[in-house]
Amino acid sequence: MKSLKTIFALTLVSLLLLGSSCQEKMSKKETLEKTIQAQIDSIDGTVAVAFYSLYQPKDSLLINVDEKFHAASTMKVPVMIELFKQASEGKLNLKDSILLKNEFKSIVDGSLYSMDINDDSDDIIYSQIGTKVAISDLMHSMITVSSNLATNILIELVDAQKVTATMRSLGAKNIDVLRGVEDQKAYDKGLSNATTAKDLMIIMEAIATHTAGKQQDCDAMITILKDQQHKDVIPVYLPKEVEVAHKTGSITGVHHDAGIIYLPNGRAYILVLLSKNLKDFDKGTDQLAKLSKTVYDYVISN
């Protein structure tokens, strides 16, 4: 039998090794935070970062996550969630077709306005005005190519207030979906869709963990998000085998990306990068992409 002295010595060594391991993990996390903060400080603008590990929930990094930002096209993800929700409740059928029009009412006074093909990222859809298009096709265009025309049709269909209410039920307390796109009168009065990095993180986590709706619906949302055609932020510096289910958004001085990152080893994490007041849009976009690479490097090293 081992002597008490030997047992004590072995126990002490184990505790020291455990302490060393914890210290190493802490130092890696601290290094990540310092690196990310330094990268943020180098960006000429305001930035928020939300990193959340789906396989190790305590391993998260939240910087400026309660700051409000113009949501830009990230608000299209809540609209997608609401579409699946109403479909599951039998209020609509995603396979049904609806008339594609280009006439919308301002939330300020009900006056009519139209979308401009030159300000939209989806020009193909304009050739279909006056015809019927499947709701599912409009939803796919809204997310993957960020079609503004499709978005306005769908927001009118599901009701912006209901979209916001559903986000509240998911725990997103500050995101506001007030209106469709290009409602200039509303914009002039400061009535814009808004979000925080924390809220987008909560929404993306809900999709990833199948709590944003039925499992098959969440899986369908992930498939759509993986087909994203705007890939100039989160995925840019990541290996091709890494899958990213995400939604970008941009307007003048603003560039966002929020997504679920799936690694080949089966692990996944949430990353939300929001920015505003960017002095140099292209440089800022590249700096945000490098923030994504920093987080990825941290994840694969742990």
Q: Which of 77, 110, 41 is nearest to 193 (CA)?
A: 77
Give a yes or no: residue 128 inside a domain.
Answer: yes
Q: Which two tokens stand for residue 107?
A: 């939330």
- pLDDT average, residue stretch 132-146: 97
Give a yes or no: residue 19 inside a domain.
Answer: no
Give a yes or no: residue 30 inside a domain.
Answer: no
Give a yes or no: residue 25 inside a domain.
Answer: no
Angle between helices 135-144 and 215-226 (to 10 degrees): 50
Residue identified by tokens 């960006």 is 43
Report DSSP letters for 229-290, one per residue.
Answer: S--SSTTTTS-TTSEEEEEEEEETTEEEEEEEEE-TTS-EEEEEEEEES-SSHHHHHHHHHH
Give a yes or no: residue 82 inside a domain.
Answer: yes
**Residue 22 pLDDT level (bands cut at 50, 70, 90):** very low
What pLDDT shows up at residue 26?
59
The dihedral over CA atoms of 183, 249, 151, 218, expressed in degrees to the nearest 10, equals: -150
Rounded Cα distance, 108 and 94, in Å: 29
Q: Which of 179, 137, 135 is nearest to 155 (CA)?
A: 179
Give a yes or no: residue 210 inside a domain.
Answer: yes
Q: Which of 290, 222, 284 is nearest to 77 (CA)?
A: 222
Residue 1: Cβ within 10 Å count: 5
CB 20 within 8 A of CB 41: no
Give a yes or no: residue 3 inside a domain.
Answer: no
What is the three-state SS of 4-25?
A: HHHHHHHHHHHHHHHHHHHHHH
What pLDDT shows up at residue 118?
87
Give a yes or no: residue 5 inside a domain.
Answer: no
What pLDDT shows up at residue 223?
98
Q: Reply yes or no on whether the pLDDT at 2 is more than 70.
A: no
Backbone angles phi, psi at 94, to 5 degrees: -65, -20
Query: By three-state DSSP, how is residue 81 classified?
Result: helix
Query: pTM of the entire structure?
Result: 0.89
Number of domains in the chain: 1
What mean pLDDT value characterizes the chain?
Answer: 92
Q: Reply yes or no on whether the pLDDT at 12 is more than 50.
A: no
Q: What Cα–Cα distance (Å) separates residue 27 from each residue in 22, 88, 150?
A: 9, 46, 47
DSSP structural state of residue 74 = G
**Residue 172 pLDDT level (bands cut at 50, 70, 90):** very high
Q: What Cα–Cα distance (Å) separates residue 144 from each residue in 45, 51, 90?
A: 27, 23, 25
What pLDDT shows up at residue 9?
44
Write out the residue range of the structural domain in which residue 272 sits.
40-300
The CATH number linked to 217 is: 3.40.710.10
Report DSSP letters for 184-237, one per residue.
Answer: HHHHHTT---EE-HHHHHHHHHHHHTT-SS-HHHHHHHHHHHHT-S--SSTTTT
Rounded Cα distance, 258 and 77, in Å: 10
